[in-house]
Structure 1
Amino acid sequence: MKKLVSLSLCLSLSLFAVARAMKPAQILAVVAKSDQKKSAGKKADGKTLLDDANKALAAMIKAARADNGLDPKTPKNKPFWKSTQLIAKNLKMAKTGLSAKSNDFFKGVTGARQAEEQMKVDWELTDSKNKEVIENGKTLGHAIALLRTNFSKEAARKRKGGELTTKEKADFDKIKAQQKELLAKIAKLEAGAKKDKALEKGLREIKKQAEHLLKEPATVDAYIATLYLLDTQIGLVRGYEYYVDKPWRDDYLWFVNWTNGYETSYYAWEDSVSYDWALVDTSVDIHDSEEVAVSESVSEEEINSEEAYAENESFDMSEAEEEEVAAEEDTDEEVASADDDSMEDASDDEGEDMSDDDSGDDEGTDDNGGDDDGGNDDGGDDGGD
């Protein structure tokens, strides 16, 4: 009995020592992944997820149109409607591309993912607390993220595994060089944007992502996760454009031009890579935190009607309106704060943990670099954690 007690005590002390050696973020990551494995829910293939995204978008638009506080003629609401319009157009492209088995499917999904991230930033400008819009927006984000990280050419490359090719290494190095340049531009802009807490918050988030990317090892998993994270970064850059006051708008234009330049090279890569279209018929797990079904019934007629509205309505802003919105958010504490009225959702922020070691060590502790972004070869969890 004494031996058993001693053994139990030793084991407890050993576990305590391991826990003490781990960083809080690492402990939470282990717990989260353990919980996630236990909470596998339903499955869905590419077409089903695209349908889910369209339903969630229609439900979100319907709820927003019914809210007078989200009137698209009000300047501060226009950025939200403009990004919603981008999502609608890109999902339409994805649907057409899937039917034709063309690259428009991938372009549409990627564009929708970027626009969805932009929408979450633009939503904060509205000051709206409409729970129905928020929940449908989160559901939309889940569906798009799962499409992006399971039915993309990146996901297919991850399944293939192996080492980075010479071209992939060169592309990865180019991305990192661009991120270094991005950090230098952020440092310059931060100095002039200190009075603008919301913009400062956005720059801080973009900076955090850039610094994270620079530390990633040259592995396939880390490379693929980087491409996913760039969707988020591009969405942030475009979303925060409406927060920029006139004095430093020219400086911020560099960031916008960078996103356009990156997209051009990215789509050239995407066009050059083949894809096995049988993969879109493969079902992937949907975890409890990745709900993709809207709570209300949405008919096909409603989907077509709401999306047609978003696609065809004009949400253009005059220069005076842009200046008004940027000036107004300078003093709006709610815009800069993170609260329950945000559309931010951890489950669709893919690429946040691209390697097992998030300590900032360039070498990392895991030779695989990014294996913790999915945990399996089919890439099913890249964007859901």
Structure 2
Amino acid sequence: MFSLTAVSAFGAPLDLQGLMSGKVTLKSAGKLAFGPDGVLFVGDSVDGKVVALDTGDRAEVKSAPVLDIRGINHKIAAALGTTQDRILIDDVIVNPISKKIYISASRGRGPDAVPVILRMDSTGKLTELSLDKINYSVAVLPNPIAADAKTERDVAAATVAKKAQQPLYVKVNTSAPNDRGTLRQYAISDMAYHNGALYVAGLSNEEFSSSFRVIPFPFPDKVQEETGVLMYHSSHGRFETNSPIRTFVITNLENQPTIFAAYTCSPVVKIPMTQMKPGGAVRGVTVTELGGGSTPLDMIVYRKAAKNYILIASTRSVFNAIQRLPLDGMDRAVELTSGFPDAGGVPFEVVPGLEGVVQMDKYDANNILLVSDVNGSLDLRTIPTP
């Protein structure tokens, strides 16, 4: 039996007395996730921490409005007093209570860029969430990936250049404050709140660098050690412990809490949460492969017509596509452990007519939120679940 946990994950109302009041300083604003009672979690990869913010946004909306807002990148730039080529948008999510949209972005580009959190209502009106005086708490991550950590490609290029006795010129995208172009951006690659705890995927400095941290909320004084993840990377043809998880969802599979995580290039891996232990390691089961060269961007889990699905937005070939993966029977999926498939494992379908999607979130039980790149204009809209 398969059951979704989108509602039950938040549990009882939260006692916010553990939060402190004051000014919050962010070095970067990357991945976002909502917890209970309008608490927003902000991943700060550069500073190696997660900040919980009490948004105060707890007015429940029972009938969510249909959204169709064009050019949100231009609207954000105007709200920040700049132009759209001087901002970057990192994440876009829905407050499940109020249905308002929250956006992590940066004003400016490069090392001096300023991270901001924005809130958008159903009319497209934007307001900046002030961090000067807000109720908050902080969880500092132990052992995040080093700020100067290099990818295998970087190391290989440096080795070739050294052997050739030639200078090495590495083109690095420094257009964001969270060190894009280095592994540090993956210190926090995705987050989700489930049953009283925040699950944080990212890279650590440990041997099993690809890992999950499970942080109870309200945050403890000290975050426990991470759980390393071993999985078979079907495109690379080997077991790996250092590939970063790009996006993940949490659900119940046969009454067992389960993570489905998507990796670059681009296996989808089933991870049993009951086997995750601080300071230990868990082996994931690779259940499908979205295709070589694909990069997962976002995932949601939903139910439609008595069937259960994962929806995955990803780059695929020269366009961005959405793939739909059936979840019923996934507990019996045969693990991919050999070969170099372009696509294999549990079959999926590409959803037609939804090209260009760069951000995605669940809006309500029957609709999803999409942000699509239409010739340089980022358009935000809601559509029925496919």
TM-score interval for Structure 1 and Structure 2 normalised by the shorter chain: under 0.3
Higher normalized helix content (fraction of residues): 1
**Larger of the two Rg values belongs to structure:** 1
Q: Which has the higher contact order (CA 8 A, sep 6+)?
A: 1
Q: TM-score, normalising length from structure 1?
A: 0.22
Greater percentage in strand: 2
State the TM-score, normalizing by the size of structure 2: 0.22
